[in-house]
Structure 1
Amino acid sequence: MSEIEQKNKTRAYWVSTALICLVMTGGGISDLLRVDDLQQTMERLGYPMYLLTMLGVAKLLAGVAILAPGFTRLKEWAYAGITFDLLGASISHVTVKDPVQDAITPLAVLAIALTSYALRPDSRKLPSS
């Protein structure tokens, strides 16, 4: 890979990582504050309100884990948790027949998370076994 390609890969990694961490942090704060729109959505989806607290904490911790240096295994778990959260959100919206954009939005955010995961530098990956 040329130096320019490597720099572009690094930039794309940091942009996608910043975006996913921003979305997770904002979402986590909104969950913890139990914003009215979220409460209505959770009720419509049939989930208990205490799930907002659990998801809020998990989203904040995921954002911190992804940005923190080291802790490669924790980063893997954070990306996995983000994947489960966003796939679950999309499936939940489809299940209750919400408008299609409600199901697509989490998948678009997931695409950003997967971009971050795919482009992460070797220093942020688990060593090959």
Structure 2
Amino acid sequence: MSTFTGNEKIAKVESRPIGRTVAYWIVTIVLAFSIALSGIGQLMRYGGNVDLVTDIGFPLYITNILGTWKLLGVITIVIPGFPRLKEWAYSGIFFLMTGAALSHVFAHDYGDGGFHVILPLFYAALGIASWALRPKSRRL
């Protein structure tokens, strides 16, 4: 007969690397905040979002599609549960950001200092880091 004193649960919690959890949340919050702002800007067609997509040959309605998918992806990676959906959201963010960078490259629209290419690749890297650092409770 096993007796549970409560110390087993405390030991289990303390054995998690706190630095990894903190790193996960920092990276994920930066990623979520950045992608959410971008998605809201696209849905509102705020600032340079109109020129950003039309200058590389995309129709303006693409901002509605991209903005919606970005917000849904952010919600998915931040809320608890739904590990399979999180996998899809991380994949979507990766493909969206690398696709944006490549679209700007192919259109020869690099922005000042390559900003239109570097920023989406940075977001793709944040997505990979968030995915790799996620706790077991957020994995399949």
Match for residue 116 of structure 2? 102
Aligned mates of 1:4, 1:94 — CA distance in 2: 45
Q: Is the 8 A contact 2:56 2:109 kept in 1?
A: no
* Counterpart Cα distance in 2 of 1:23 and 1:4: 32
**Could you give the per-residue CA deviations for residues 14-71 of structure 1, whole angstroms, max 9, x where no partner exists?**
0001011101111110010012411111111111111100111111111110011100
TM-score (norm 1): 0.91
Task: Give, in whole Å, the separation in 2 of the partners of 1:69 and 1:35.
Answer: 30
How far is 1:113 from its partner? 1.1
* Aligned-partner Cα distance in 2 for 1:71–1:56: 21
SS in 2 for 1:45: coil
Does residue 116 of structure 1 match 2:127?
Answer: no
Structure 2: gaps of 5 or more residues: 1-13
Which has the larger Rg?
A: 2
State the alpha-carbon separation in 1 of the partners of residues 47 and 60 from structure 2. Answer: 11
Could you report, residue by residue, the CA deviation over 1:91-127 in whole angstroms, capped at 9, with x for unpaired residues? 011111123232111111111111100000111001x
User: Could you say if the C-alpha distance between residues 4 and 15 of structure 1 is closer, same or farther in structure 2, counting changes exceeding 3 Å?
Assistant: farther
What is the aligned length?
124
Query: In structure 2, what is the Cα distance between the partners aligned to 1:36 and 1:115?
Result: 29
Q: 1:90 aligns with which of 91, 101, 106?
A: 101
Amino acid of the structure 1 residue aligned with 2:39: G
Please, which runs of 5 or more residues in structure 1 have no aligned partner?
A: none
The Cα shift of 1:4 comes to 8.5
> How many Å separate the matches in 2 of 1:66 and 1:123?
12
Q: TM-score, normalised by structure 2?
A: 0.84
1:42 aligns with 2:25: no
Q: CA RMSD in A?
A: 1.4
Tell me the distance in 2 between the aligned counterparts of 1:102 and 1:50.
20
Percentage of identical aligned residues: 40
**Higher share of residues assigned helix:** 1
